[in-house]
């Protein structure tokens, strides 16, 4: 009996010691997760910078093309032949449709740049999940993750 009591006293301090060591282990693991979070944050920041530069490049390119298109559009000559005039008008209408699409894309780019500045870029507007970088890289103006976009397209196709 005496022996068991001494074993209990010996094991009790070691149990207390192991309990007191747990916070230190937890502190170390939380520091590790903080480092991992810091690393993933810096990776995410680098990815956002890459996308921001790409969006700014696309925007500048579209604005430059729009300026050239406007100058060309304003110089449409009048043709004496009716069929030539009709072709020129069809071309002008087509160019106007392209300019309208480019204008909408510039607006989407501006909205994406605003979301980057606000810190909300890359978050799906429907489910609130983070949109994976490969999707953002492929379609930088997107506001939906692939799952939500797929559902949206299926609903749109069902309405037709």
Percentage of the chain beyond pLDDT 90 is 51
Give pTM, 2 decimals.
0.65
Q: Within the chain, which residue ranges are assigned CATH 1.20.120.910?
A: 2-121
- DSSP secondary structure, 23-73, as one string: HHHHHHHHHHHHHHHHHHHHHHHHHHHHHHHHHHHHHHHHHHHHHHHHHHH
**Residue ranges, the chain, pLDDT below 50:** 1-33, 35
What is the pLDDT at residue 119? 93
What is the tens place of the pLDDT at every residue in 75-110? Answer: 556 777 888 888 888 989 999 999 999 999 999 999
Q: Which CATH architecture describes the domain 2-121?
A: Up-down Bundle (1.20)
């Amino acid at each position: 009996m005496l022996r068991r009591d001494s074993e209990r006293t010996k094991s009790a301090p070691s149990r207390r010691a192991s309990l007191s060591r747990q916070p230190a282990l937890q502190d170390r693991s939380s520091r590790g997760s903080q480092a991992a979070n810091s690393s993933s944050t810096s990776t995410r920041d680098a990815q956002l910078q890459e996308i921001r530069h790409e969006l700014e490049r696309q925007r500048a390119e579209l604005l430059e093309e729009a300026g050239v298109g406007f100058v060309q559009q304003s110089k449409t000559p009048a043709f004496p032949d009716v069929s030539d005039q009709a072709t020129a008008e069809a071309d002008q209408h087509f160019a106007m449709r392209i300019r309208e699409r480019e204008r909408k894309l510039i607006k989407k780019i501006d909205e994406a740049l605003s979301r980057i500045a606000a810190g909300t870029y890359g978050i799906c507007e429907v489910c609130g999940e983070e949109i994976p970088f490969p999707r953002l890289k492929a379609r930088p103006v997107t506001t939906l993750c692939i799952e939500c976009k797929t559902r949206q397209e299926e609903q749109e196709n069902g309405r037709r």
